[in-house]
Amino acid sequence: MEEYATQFHQMKNIFVEFQISKRTQENADELRKELRHQRAHMREQVPPSQQRQIRDHDREEENAQHIQLIHSESNFNFVKMHLISHFRDHIYMFGNIV
């Protein structure tokens, strides 16, 4: 059981984006809006031939910052996940549940 819990904790970042709070999502959306607004003014000064390349680069950077914010503010710290860490000790102390 501990091995499965360890594997889950190693891979839980896959699920973090789907376990975000409304506040975290609002913060991420606000960050995205600010970045788009800042970059729109900078792109006006760039020749049209380079704007698409810069827009694509900006989108990649925006997505990376969005994911970083979500990962920094989201977690799996809730009771169900914490209780699993105690199961093994309780089984040794009190025996199996039959």
Instruction: Count CB-CB contacts under 10 A for residue 17.
Output: 15
Into how many domains does the chain fold? 1
Structural domain for 53, as ranges: 2-94
Would the pLDDT of 17 be above 80?
A: no
pTM above 0.95, yes or no: no
Read off the pLDDT of residues 28-66 as tens digits, 9 standing for 90 and up: 888 888 888 887 777 777 787 887 888 888 888 888 887
Would the pLDDT of 76 be above 70?
A: no
Q: Considering the chain, what is the average pLDDT of its residues?
A: 79
Residue 6 vs residue 17, higher pLDDT: 6
Which pLDDT band, with edges at 50, 70 and 90, does 77 fall under? low
- The number of residues in the chain equals 98
